[in-house]
Amino acid sequence: MVKIDKRIESNKKRKKLILNSCEEPCPIERGMRLIGGKWKGSILWHLKDGPLRFNEIARQLSGASKKIINERLKEMESQGLISRMVISERPIAVSYELTKFGKSALMILEDLKLWSEKNRI
């Protein structure tokens, strides 16, 4: 075996073998699972200024279908990033708001925004 770096070795067939691999996802992967899904970061960002109703969120995410927005909101609620408040039963009206946990992700999104603007991405 040939050592390529501290974590990777190559056998005789030049196949790379990972040494000391993690059985669990690393912290970056765990974080990306929470806020890295399509539209999740955008939803968090739009909720930063206060609660929004479903249709207000849908208007701001004009490229996303209402079905996908609904799925993401349910996922984010179950993950503790946002809370859902029923405003009225008939007709049904709900609003969504960031939880304390959800607000803690805004710093990451702000850094991403600045990085994107700086690099014209």
Task: Answer whether 17's CB lies under 8 Å from 11's CB.
Answer: yes
Give the model's pLDDT for residue 3.
46
Q: Which DSSP state fits 14? A: -
Answer yes or no: is pLDDT of 20 > 80.
Answer: no
Residue 87 token pair: 């405003």
Q: Which of 8, 27, 3 is nearest to 19 (CA)?
A: 8
Higher pLDDT, 2 or 15: 15
Q: Domain limits of the chain?
A: 25-118
Read off the tokens for 12: 């005789």
| pLDDT bracket for residue 116 (50, 70, 90) | very high
Q: Which CATH architecture has domain 25-118?
A: Orthogonal Bundle (1.10)
DSSP at 48: G
pLDDT band at 72 (very low <50, low <70, confident <90, very high): very high
The residue that leads in pLDDT, 48 or 11, is 48
| Helix or strand holding residue 53 (H, E) | strand 52-53
Q: What is the pTM of this model?
A: 0.77
As beta bridge partners, residue 2 has: 10
What's the mean pLDDT in 66-95? Answer: 96
